[in-house]
Structure 1
């Protein structure tokens, strides 16, 4: 693999944790009554926020989406600056949109290696 095709998948721990958080926030925003009971206190917090504080939950959801979009745009710009291939750029952008800083930190490490 050449340096122009550079791509690394984010850590399973962080992708799992961030993915769980995104799903829980989405459920708390749109269907808080469907959050499973077996999630314990975390699920209870999600249900509470979704039913008792829906406006705050909605703003948290929108803020999270905005942050992930901004991170994905930044990842795209970094990939273009590094001269990565179109395929690698798409992978980094999509992964960063989904998992945010867990992906972006790996791309920034690549930047430090090229400096």
Structure 2
């Protein structure tokens, strides 16, 4: 969906990015909170690396998970500022940008940052 009327612009992240971020964050969550249930041996090199990280650097994984979500929160809050700066003043649309950016991070925020609002011509 692309809406570009004055004060209302929204564009959904591509399905590929939604899938990549969802699977990545889901797998990250799985390895951090339920590492005993991950079938490492069936995941090839990713499984080997994940198992190594769980066994030798679990604290780093755990903290990294929280940092990743903190970054998503910061990006989502920043999206509200970008909406305001670009003249997107529809509260529902700003809420969509916030939610999408919280869930999918830079895959969403980059779309908002690329948006060039229409310039209004002033008559003298």
Query: Which residue number in structure 2 is paired with residue 98 of structure 1?
Result: 103
**Separation of aligned partners in 2, 1:9 and 1:82:** 17
Aligned length: 114
Q: Is the 8 A contact 1:69 1:97 kept in 2?
A: yes
TM-score, length-normalised on structure 2? 0.80
C-alpha RMSD over aligned residues:
1.8
Give the number of the structure whose residues are more often helix, by fraction: 1
Aligned residue for 2:36? 33
- Per the TM alignment, residue 113 of structure 1 is displaced from its structure 2 partner at its CA by 4.3
* TM-score normalised according to structure 1 size: 0.86
Greater C-alpha radius of gyration: 2
Among candidates 49, 55, 60, match of residue 53 of structure 2: 49
| Residue equivalent to 1:64 | 68
Question: Unaligned 5+ residue runs, structure 2?
Answer: 120-124
Moved more, 1-10 or 70-79: 1-10
Work out the CA distance in 2 between the residues paired with 1:12 and 1:90. Answer: 20
Runs of 4+ in 1 over 4 A off after TM superposition: none
